[in-house]
Amino acid sequence: MINRPDQFCMLALAVGTALARDQTRELGVGLITSGSRFVWVVKNNIVDKEDGQELEEVIGHELMERVKEKGLIVKSWVQQEDILSHPAVGGFLSHCGWNSVMEAAWNGVRILAWPQNGDQKVNADVVERIGLGTWVRSWGWSGEKLVGGAEIAERIRECMGNESLRIQAMGIKEDARKAVGFGGSSDKGLTELISMWNQF
């Protein structure tokens, strides 16, 4: 499983702030039904909580158990770039902060964009234009409407299964490395991450 490249989708979303609770639950349902393995990086400011505890508080115990069957829940101490640079990770559901877009481009990871503010919308537009990913404009802003789990699952499937998108993203990676030169990426936290992958 782990050695087959390109089948994980990563998302790094703040729990309880950027997305409302009911939207976070739909996201959980969408991930489970997408058929994709995933890594959910839970960002928060509360350092003393156990892994996934705050997520469970939002989506409930039952859904959390199902999420954990298909995915890895990791705390934000895991550097996002360490996950994006792993060969098993092919997709990134992202709000499209600039650093996230840069890291995805550097690692050839295609983006399913879900911007939540003006700057992120500008970045999502760039992502689409350069062929790094897709942006479902009808999902709107956070809180504007509730995007259902089935719709999220469908879009994740499309993004993960889109061969031309995969090839374009890999091309962007090659271009980026040609421009900047190989190496340079930090491997901080990677050892811990690899041990987590190996539990699958």
Ligand X SMILES: *[C@@H]1O[C@H](CO)[C@@H](O)[C@H](O)[C@H]1NC(C)=O
Residues lying near ligand X in the complex (CB under 6 A): 131, 134, 158, 162, 164-165
For residues 194 and 25, give the distance between their C-alpha atoms in angstroms, rounded to a whole number. 28
Q: How far is the CB of 128 from ligand X (least distance, A)?
A: 8
Using the minimum distance from each CB to ligand X, give the nearer residue, 16 or 131. Answer: 131
Q: How far is the CB of 165 from ligand X (least distance, A)?
A: 4
37 phi, psi to nearest 5 deg: -75, 155
For residues 152 and 56, give the distance between their C-alpha atoms in angstroms, rounded to a whole number. 20
Q: Closest residue to ligand X, Cβ-based? A: 162
Q: How far is the CB of 190 from ligand X (least distance, A)?
A: 30
For residues 139 and 135, give the distance between their C-alpha atoms in angstroms, rounded to a whole number. 9
Using the minimum distance from each CB to ligand X, give the nearer residue, 131 or 140. Answer: 131
Using the minimum distance from each CB to ligand X, give the nearer residue, 43 or 121. Answer: 121
Using the minimum distance from each CB to ligand X, give the nearer residue, 120 or 134. Answer: 134
Q: How far is the CB of 13 from ligand X (least distance, A)?
A: 22
Q: Which helix (H) or strand (E) holds 41?
A: strand 37-43
- 3-class secondary structure, 6: coil
Closest CA to 136 of 163, 107, 111: 111
Q: How far is the CB of 24 from ligand X (least distance, A)?
A: 26
Q: What is the end-to-end Cα distance of the chain in Å, rounded?
A: 8
196 alpha carbon, distance to own chain's centre: 17
Closest CA to 134 of 94, 99, 172: 94
Using the minimum distance from each CB to ligand X, give the nearer residue, 131 or 171. Answer: 131
